[in-house]
Structure 1
Amino acid sequence: MTSTEPSPPAGPWDVIVVGGGPTGLSAATLLGQRDLRVAVVERHRDVYPLPRAVHLDDEVYRILHQLGIGEEFAAHTRPAAGLRLVDAHHRELATFTRERVTASGLPQANMFDQPDLERLLRDNLKRLPEVKVLGGHELLRLDTTDAASVTAHVCRPDGTPADLRAPYMIACDGANSTVRGLLGIESDDLGFEQRWLVVDVRCGLDLDAWDGVHQVCDTRRAGTYMRIGPDRYRWEFQLLESETPADFRNIPTLRRLIGPWVRRIPDDQLDLLKCQEYTFHARVARQWRAGRVFLAGDAAHVTPPFIGQGMCAGLRDAQNLAWKLDTVLRGHAAPKLLDSYEAERRPHATTMIKRARTMGRLMTGGGRAASLTRRHLLPVLARSRPIRRVLLDSRTPALTPSPRIQRHTPRRVRGALLPLVRLPGPDGELVLVDRVLGDRTAVVALPGVDLAAVPDALPSAWLTVDPEGSEGERLLARWLHNAHVGWVAVDPDRVIRTAGPAEVPR
């Protein structure tokens, strides 16, 4: 457990992070790794105990490695086998199985318990003395009148007031963000609202169920089932208009929902951990920045859960923003670089929310005619390679051109992530390419590329990949060749900023 201050240290602080969930702790870690002084204001004294997020993809697993907890996280996660669609009677409509192994070795879909992840993140912060998690502190007011800083007026655990001041603040305080409310920032509703019951159960016996995500495509009672650990299971069910969580307060009353999965399991073997109502929304804040204050995670965007990207989007926000704040605070870039955060992340998050909304409607919307259509059409679609790729491919869209991503960059690589592969490390062992490049900008190039061909290449790491070298080098070389470029310039978040041919144009 990260030490929790009884009263806020005087500072000075470089960044104040409001909210100590996965997004806030990730942002604080990435900033602390760069030796910035960070105060995390969190109203809960310890890790919030109830499970919430349960899925992350391999792109976000990559961020966990950058945070320094990738290896530890492996002991707390379970790969998901794929997606099975069933009808209201639990007859199989289609099954989409994940078979492809990624070049990095990281599974494309990973199930976990959010409190486990938050404990890893908090324990990891013990290595970063510049970061202080102020548990039991609640934000009361903001002062943004100073042109050079923002001040957070907080309430200590003993009820006394205190002030924190820093050049920048990141609001990671959830869907009901206090910071967003204090700033008067409204959200755009993308047209989705459903009441769902979220149920978490511990059971020491294996359920007689296919080991992947089950989606019940029922227009009356849509549902989702997931195994998230050796003895942990989650169900999510759409609530009927007249129902409340009180109608499902224990295992016997829950059996009419979870019965198809637990018929042979006695009640005393099912430990109910959580049974709570959530209203799923699709919303995006109209602005993600107000002067020196930035919104991130659920404070900036809220998504339906159908493609498992809610928490993932928050960690992507943290990674995008952290290195830019560091670069600006050190004077290595003009403050206008920070404008690229919203320019890049807002369209990306909006796209993912719309995908989740569409997936939810396709799986659960419509009436009897829609159910019949799904019954006959889904088995056909399951045999379609493009459809299978859309449903199972964990790659997210490239970022749109922004103040840092140059429009003239070839479209195939512009704003995309550098492929994650393993390369030989200093001792000959295979390590992720991110570890080879380090926490800095980098140029990845084919042999023969002249430094003069790469504008603004220094200071950067320079990695030449041998088309005849290790498997990871061959994969990168083939990727560059297929994109018709000789080199790419990569920022610390592994996003490709620009690229070009091997030779200097004459």
Structure 2
Amino acid sequence: MSETSLPGSAHYPVVVVGFGPSGAVAANLLGQHGIRSLVIDRQREVYDKPRAIAIDHEILRLFDNLGLAEAVLPYVAPFHASEHFGADGQLIRRIDTVPEPYPQGYVPTMVFTQPPVEAALRAHAQARPGVDVRLGTELVDLTATPDRVTLDLRQDDGMRRTITADYVIACDGASSGVRERLGIRLADLVFDEPWLVVDMQVNESALAKLPPNSAQFCDPRRPTSYIIGPGTHRRWEIMLLPGEDPRLAQTRERVWELLARWLTPADATLWRAASYRFHALVAERWRQGRVFIAGDAAHQQPPFIGQGMCQGVRDVANLIWKLARVLDGRSGEALLDSYEAERSAHVRELTTRIKAIGQVICERDPVAARARDARILAEGGGQPRIITRQEIVPPLATGLLADETDPARGRLFPQPWVETAKGRARLDAVAGAGCRVVIEDALARTLPAGILATARAKGLTVIAFGPSGAGPVAEADITVAECDGVLRDWFAGCGRAAAIVRPDHYVFGTAADGPALAALIDAFTLGLTAPALPAASLAHALS
């Protein structure tokens, strides 16, 4: 629901500041949970140039859960393999995707065109009952107390209003005004490099001039990334050298000079050229009382495996299912503390890995670059090694998770294709995406009476899977037959037969037998229903 003017005064359970990708996903998730919310953004229109260019299967799975997949898929394409070339132009390694059957039901890594995808996210949120979107509206001030947050808002026509909220989620970008008002500092993970990002729409007749795969040219003279986007969209990320003027670098004349080895002005239309400093920054705090920060407001990372937007979407997917439980009284405030614990650690680990990749790419010393090339080739036994992007993204390491000895805790749970009466479907389309127990058919049929009934009574959907034609499991909500053995192989790989899966698709923990599963269900429900923070603690957090 969207209106042109602000209400005279109002209270909302949640206010989202910022309607970019993270804020739009947050709005959609809030609407899906039936939580009344206000979303504000200073800008009335989606920025019409591409910025983010990559998403992964975890993010598209979430879009599908929101009913958005069909709207965004026309603007999405598989991410081509990325070939890394060394100081002397030789292939030194290849970053590719895992083969089919894909573990999340989608191609693991994709490229996309941001403006129409962002517009689709916005339109879907605006159509949801209870989601109140106010564009052309900025946050002037914010005051938090232990029981509510007060926001002073101003429309672009000058009209002012005061709104109150139970919680605020700030998705207001790298220069976040909310983060600044809260006095939250950014920890520097020590990566600061000047780069030029160039987006081109290449003429069909000129595509053959370009590399057939995405590439990292690890050339110490000028490190450069080349990315194949959807359709004829091609991106170059070009490192600027000491003394080069970032403003001059983004002029049309200089852009064409830098791309001369690939294209001429007759071959393509310049879509965007922008100079950036690639940073590795993470907020020291992600929550202050009833106010949370997410997306670029909480972290910034170099773009070398295309995880910037993915990280922001993971933030809000992690936070909002927990916020929904707190707002409807199923969980206490303490559950919200796991947001920062989980996401900050995950972002720091992934950013550290991305930074290490960036440092390899950005090596400017020719002698060190050749030593790097030799080392990377040696790791592959003298041949270019193939690694997958999915190896780079870590599991969750801390937070609402089972014991550290659990082999699958914090991992992203698979989504196989399953058989239904109407044909093949992805698991989430059949079973939903709430709190789930997923269990092998063979174990489910031999469990002591009542374990699965207890899980259902505690709000977990029980999903049994097994071979085709095995028949339903009596105490399961859903019994499915998977098509490609994805779940079978996943459980075999961790030596378990049951898993508790959170609404954000991360594994709480796994079990091999009935007693272990009963204990796991108890541990999960205990974690979900931890008592609320005492008022004194919340007040301290706000101070």
Mark yes or no: TM-score above 0.5. yes
Q: TM-score, normalised by structure 1?
A: 0.91
Q: Does residue 433 of structure 1 match 2:430?
A: no
Q: Deviations over 1:309-330 (max 9, x none)?
A: 1111000001101111101100
CA distance in 1, matches of 2:133, 2:70: 23
- CA gap of 1:233–1:87, structure 2 versus 1, over 3 A, is same
CA distance in 1, matches of 2:385, 2:314: 26
Q: Does residue 28 of structure 1 match 2:22?
A: no
Q: Deviations over 1:83-113 (max 9, x none)?
A: 1112467554444444612144411221112
Indicate which of 407, 410, 413 corresponds to 2:403.
Answer: 407
Pick which of 340-349 and 393-402 moved more: 393-402
Partner of 1:396: 393
CA distance in 2, matches of 1:385, 1:299: 41
Partner of 1:163: 162
- Once the two structures are TM-superposed, the CA of residue 218 in structure 1 deviates from its matched residue by 2.2
Partner of 1:234: 235
Number of residues of Structure 1 aligned to a counterpart in Structure 2: 497
Q: CA RMSD in A?
A: 2.4
Q: Does residue 118 of structure 1 match 2:113?
A: no
- Once the two structures are TM-superposed, the CA of residue 395 in structure 1 deviates from its matched residue by 6.6
SS at match of 2:466: coil
CA distance in 1, matches of 2:267, 2:262: 13
Partner of 1:356: 354
CA distance in 2, matches of 1:386, 1:376: 10
Alignment check: 8 A CA contact 1:55 1:110 kept? yes
Partner of 1:329: 327
Pick which of 113-122 and 123-132 moved more: 123-132
SS at match of 2:209: coil
- CA gap of 1:18–1:386, structure 2 versus 1, over 3 A, is farther
The letter for the 2-side match of 1:16 is V
- CA gap of 1:209–1:503, structure 2 versus 1, over 3 A, is same
Partner of 1:177: 176
CA distance in 2, matches of 1:9, 1:59: 40
CA distance in 2, matches of 1:393, 1:229: 21
- CA gap of 1:500–1:322, structure 2 versus 1, over 3 A, is same
Q: Deviations over 1:205-262 (max 9, x none)?
A: 2242233321111233211111212121111111123222443455443233212221
- Once the two structures are TM-superposed, the CA of residue 422 in structure 1 deviates from its matched residue by 1.4
CA distance in 1, matches of 2:412, 2:374: 37
Which ranges in structure 1 are unaligned for 5 or more consecutive residues?
A: none
Alignment check: 8 A CA contact 2:58 2:104 kept? no
Pick which of 71-80 and 333-342 moved more: 71-80
- Once the two structures are TM-superposed, the CA of residue 360 in structure 1 deviates from its matched residue by 0.5
SS at match of 2:2: coil
CA distance in 2, matches of 1:336, 1:324: 10
Q: Deviations over 1:112-138 (max 9, x none)?
A: 121121111012124302112211111
CA distance in 1, matches of 2:252, 2:509: 55
- CA gap of 1:367–1:412, structure 2 versus 1, over 3 A, is same
CA distance in 2, matches of 1:177, 1:411: 38
- Once the two structures are TM-superposed, the CA of residue 292 in structure 1 deviates from its matched residue by 0.3
Partner of 2:504: 493
CA distance in 2, matches of 1:364, 1:84: 15
The letter for the 2-side match of 1:441 is C
Q: Does residue 444 of structure 1 match 2:445?
A: no
SS at match of 2:231: coil
CA distance in 1, matches of 2:169, 2:35: 14
- Once the two structures are TM-superposed, the CA of residue 494 in structure 1 deviates from its matched residue by 1.3
Q: Does residue 275 of structure 1 match 2:273?
A: yes
Q: TM-score, normalised by structure 2?
A: 0.86
- Once the two structures are TM-superposed, the CA of residue 401 in structure 1 deviates from its matched residue by 3.2
Alignment check: 8 A CA contact 1:109 1:394 kept? no
Partner of 2:492: 481
CA distance in 2, matches of 1:385, 1:434: 40
Q: Deviations over 1:294-316 (max 9, x none)?
A: 11111111101112111110000
Partner of 1:424: 419
Partner of 2:140: 140
The letter for the 1-side match of 2:185 is E
SS at match of 1:360: helix
- CA gap of 1:327–1:301, structure 2 versus 1, over 3 A, is same
- CA gap of 1:194–1:431, structure 2 versus 1, over 3 A, is same
- Once the two structures are TM-superposed, the CA of residue 75 in structure 1 deviates from its matched residue by 1.0
Q: Deviations over 1:440-480 (max 9, x none)?
A: 21110112433644665532211111046644473213322
- CA gap of 1:94–1:343, structure 2 versus 1, over 3 A, is closer
- Once the two structures are TM-superposed, the CA of residue 64 in structure 1 deviates from its matched residue by 1.6
Identity of aligned residues (%): 32
SS at match of 1:465: strand
